[in-house]
Amino acid sequence: MSRQTHPWGVPPWSVDFRPAPGPLPDRVDFAIVGGGFTGLCAAAWLARLAPKKSVLVLEASALGEGASGRTGGLALEDTAAGPLPGLGDVLAGYQKILRTLRIDSGLELPGVYELGRADPAKDSPICWSDSGDLKVVRTVPGGAVDPGKVVAGLARAAEKAGAHIIEHAEVQAIESSDPPCLRVRRNGRGRVQQKNIRASQILLAVNAFSLELSGLRGSTQPKLTLAMATAPLSRAQLQAIGLSSRRPFYTVDLPYLWGRLLDSNGMVFGAGLVPAPTTIASLFGKPARKRSPRYAAPDLYRFDVREGEAAESFRWLEDRVHHLHPALASVRITHRWAGPILFTEGMRPVFRRHPRSKNVAVLAGYNGHGVALSVYLGQWAAEVLLDCRSLPTWG
């Protein structure tokens, strides 16, 4: 599937890294399933800490084609459920990981505005019209990154440290033998290959996809969320809308709205959830009935955001953006895209052993709060796989 024609639309950044080509191995020490922030960070960290062990990343689509390349890129503290034991300072940890892996991420941490329709701060620089007066309530730690640069940087760091990354390789099942065996379907250059790979330890970093595989079907809710980017705003427009500080923002009440500035001075706005389709079918278009319903991924990729409920939600978001402030009345929308978010019970991330195998760990479910956290916990997961750190008590 070409990026330009992706049914989920195209964000304004890109991932300028493609892994070196190579065959699927028969056996590895560590297999990471999922090439988003979580999986790539875990792979980079594992390969650094254990250079003599083999590390394999299997990505069903292209790197970053899940939430990580389609995110808004607000780097936030803690979790969607607030601070949790053992997490420490997520933003400082995130910065440290990016620095250690020498990733040029475009990370800026000027603070993030929380906006609300009640109890505004006295000196709110923002006054927008969106179901009432939307003003700054307070400023919290955080900022924004270039998600494309982070995905590419993590992948580059992982490969440089010795990890092997394979795109278009979907894990269809895991047999809980000892060691576990991954059933992989690789779809490359018009050729489909099926292969069984044994791995001593496995990390499932598949987020909102493959919920049967991760054992999260039923206890979690996958949704698609929508975002759009505008043409660059002038300095006068930025000043008029109160964003000269370049701080990203999100609302603390409903209707929800979040946003951030790009380097180009285009704005990204996001809001709205669309139920993710629940039919089971291949990521690559094979009919559902030919697949094992136990492990197959939900057919998220077949969902076209240009149609139906998603298209209506985009029109609603665009209308809201144009009415936020007179300075935005005729701003041009240049990109529209969607990406998956996995909602969990109590908004806590899932970080635990797989119920069917002690050699398989599952890390997912950041509830739209995973830019910094996925990388922070990806590092932790690498240490768990190496048996030098325990799983968290809340996971």
Residues in contact with ligand FAD by the rule CB under 6 A: 33-39, 58-61, 65-68, 70-74, 76, 170-171, 205-207, 209-210, 213, 225, 227, 270, 297, 339-341, 364, 366, 368-371, 374
Encoded amino acid at 46, one letter: L
**What are the two backbone dihedrals, phi and then psi, of residue 220, each rounded to the nearest 5 degrees?**
-135, 165
DSSP SS3 for 82: strand
Nearer to ligand FAD, 109 or 205 (CB): 205
Nearer to ligand FAD, 211 or 241 (CB): 211
Cα separation, 269 vs 299, in Å, equals 26
Q: Do 394 and 373 touch, CB atoms closer than 8 A?
A: no
Q: How far is the CB of 224 from ligand FAD (least distance, A)?
A: 7
80 vs 234, 247, 307, 379, CA distance in Å? Answer: 33, 19, 30, 19
Nearer to ligand FAD, 239 or 361 (CB): 361
Nearer to ligand FAD, 76 or 122 (CB): 76
Beta-strand ranges (E) seen in 67-129 are: 74-76, 112-116, 127-129
Three-state secondary structure of 9-50: ECCCCCCCCCCCCCCCCCEEEEEEECCCHHHHHHHHHHHHHC
* DSSP-assigned beta bridge partners for residue 340: 224
Nearer to ligand FAD, 161 or 208 (CB): 208
Nearer to ligand FAD, 65 or 146 (CB): 65
Cα separation, 172 vs 185, in Å, equals 7
Q: How far is the CB of 273 from ligand FAD (least distance, A)?
A: 10
Q: Do 300 and 222 touch, CB atoms closer than 8 A?
A: yes
